[in-house]
């Protein structure tokens, strides 16, 4: 078994991400005036986002923050203020806090978030994902990618040993780690299962860091490092396990769906595909795509939204991707620190 941290990192990571929930709430209240709109009458998801001139992704991120904070509720496609939301956001309420909360719009961070919401685009012009048909990516800049990869590794060290201890890969032979970056999730699993091998697919600068870590952990002889575009690189290995750890949230919903299908296609029979991420709660079929929480993951979604093309996805969205790929969703989930979970699909 792997040695695990003495202390749960969740409270510290929650505190780090919490500011993004605050910026979303301030943007919704102080800039978009959601309170008066919903105080007048409930709105459907699409009607509300059109009234605010928001595309679907920023609307999902913004409205999820409001719901996770207990300010709005969802009934089918209809969004309305909760009693708490009506008391604090309705301008006719004697206890309305909109003026006070709206002061946050003078913050540079809030103005930056408003710009991201308006443009449906990450802050600035920096891309943290790679596309063949896009411009240069920071993921191919050795210095920047190295800093980013090592930063992600700090979080992984707190979580990867717990993942390894909760997995049973005793019968697995080869694990494909898609966009594996630092590789620590795979390396901890390799330390526990001596017969397992792994292939790490990523860009060259990330792989340089991964090679260093694999050597330090004594598993380098069981790892193949492959410089690859995970969207197009030929998947010629005979693999029975796929790990997609904190990668799908970088991409749009359609791109994430396609990636899951792509890696599931060549998965060996009875093989499994594991999605590790921070997931929002599911919504009922036909309901508006606005999760009730958790609030900490809604905050994390705001962070991702401001940095990449994706967001935090819901459990039901990940399960749909697995089903679309022809996999059977496993009922058991692995729960990890910092609101992480593993959703798994198996090829029958």
Q: Give residues with Cβ within 8 angstroms of 254, minimum separation 6.
A: none
- What are the residue boundaries of the structural domains of the chain, listed by start? 10-119, 138-279+314-346
* CATH node for 138-279+314-346: 3.40.50.150
Measuring CA to CA, which residue among 87, 105, 95, 97 is closest to residue 32?
105
* 270 torsion bin: left (phi>0), alpha (psi -120 to 50), beta (else): left
The tokens 């991702």 sit on which residue? 304
- SS3 assignment for 221-237: HHEEEEECCCCCCCCCC
DSSP tag of 313? P
CB-based contacts of 30: which residues, under 8 Å, 6+ apart? Answer: 98, 101, 102, 103, 104, 105, 110
pLDDT at 145 (0 to 100): 84
Examine the pLDDT at 22 and tell me if it is beyond 70.
yes
Q: What is the mean pLDDT of residues 102-114?
A: 95
Establish whether the linkage from the previous residue to 294 is cis, with ω within 30° of 0. Answer: yes
pLDDT of residue 79: 98
Mean pLDDT of the chain: 95
DSSP conformation class of 267:
P
Q: Which CATH architecture has domain 10-119?
A: Orthogonal Bundle (1.10)
Q: What's the pLDDT tens digit per position in 122-155?
A: 887 655 666 666 666 666 778 888 888 999 999 9
d(CA 40, CA 51): 13
- Which contiguous run of DSSP H or E holds residue 275? strand 272-278
């Amino acid at each position: 078994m792997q040695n695990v941290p003495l202390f749960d990192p969740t409270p510290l990571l929650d505190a780090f991400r919490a500011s993004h929930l605050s910026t979303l709430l301030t943007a919704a209240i102080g800039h978009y005036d959601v309170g008066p709109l919903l105080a007048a009458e409930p709105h459907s998801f699409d009607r509300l986002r059109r009234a605010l001139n928001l595309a679907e992704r920023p609307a999902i991120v913004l409205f999820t923050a409001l719901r996770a904070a207990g300010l709005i509720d969802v009934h089918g496609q209809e969004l309305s203020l909760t009693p708490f939301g009506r008391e604090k956001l309705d301008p006719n309420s004697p206890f309305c806090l909109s003026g006070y909360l709206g002061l946050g719009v003078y913050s540079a961070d809030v103005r930056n978030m408003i710009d991201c919401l308006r443009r449906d685009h990450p802050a600035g012009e920096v891309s943290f994902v790679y596309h063949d048909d896009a411009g240069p990516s920071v993921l191919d800049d050795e210095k920047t990618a190295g800093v980013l990869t090592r930063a992600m590794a700090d979080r992984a060290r707190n979580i990867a040993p717990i993942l390894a201890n909760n997995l049973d890969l005793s019968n697995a032979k080869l694990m494909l780690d898609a966009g594996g970056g630092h590789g620590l999730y795979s390396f901890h699993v390799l330390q526990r299962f001596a017969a397992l091998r792994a292939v790490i697919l990523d860009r060259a600068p990330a792989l340089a860091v991964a090679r260093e870590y694999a050597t330090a952990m004594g598993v380098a002889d069981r790892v193949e490092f492959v410089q690859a575009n995970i969207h197009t690189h030929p998947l010629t290995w005979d693999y029975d396990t796929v790990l997609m750890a904190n990668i799908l949230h970088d991409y749009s919903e359609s791109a994430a769906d396609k990636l899951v299908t792509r890696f599931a296609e060549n998965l060996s029979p009875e093989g499994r595909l594991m999605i590790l991420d921070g997931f929002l709660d599911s919504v009922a079929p036909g309901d508006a795509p606005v999760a009730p929480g958790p609030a900490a993951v809604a905050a994390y979604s705001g962070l991702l939204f401001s940095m990449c093309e994706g967001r935090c996805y819901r459990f039901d969205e990940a399960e749909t991707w697995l089903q679309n790929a022809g996999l059977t969703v496993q009922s058991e989930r692995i729960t990890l620190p910092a609101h992480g979970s593993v959703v798994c699909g198996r090829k029958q």
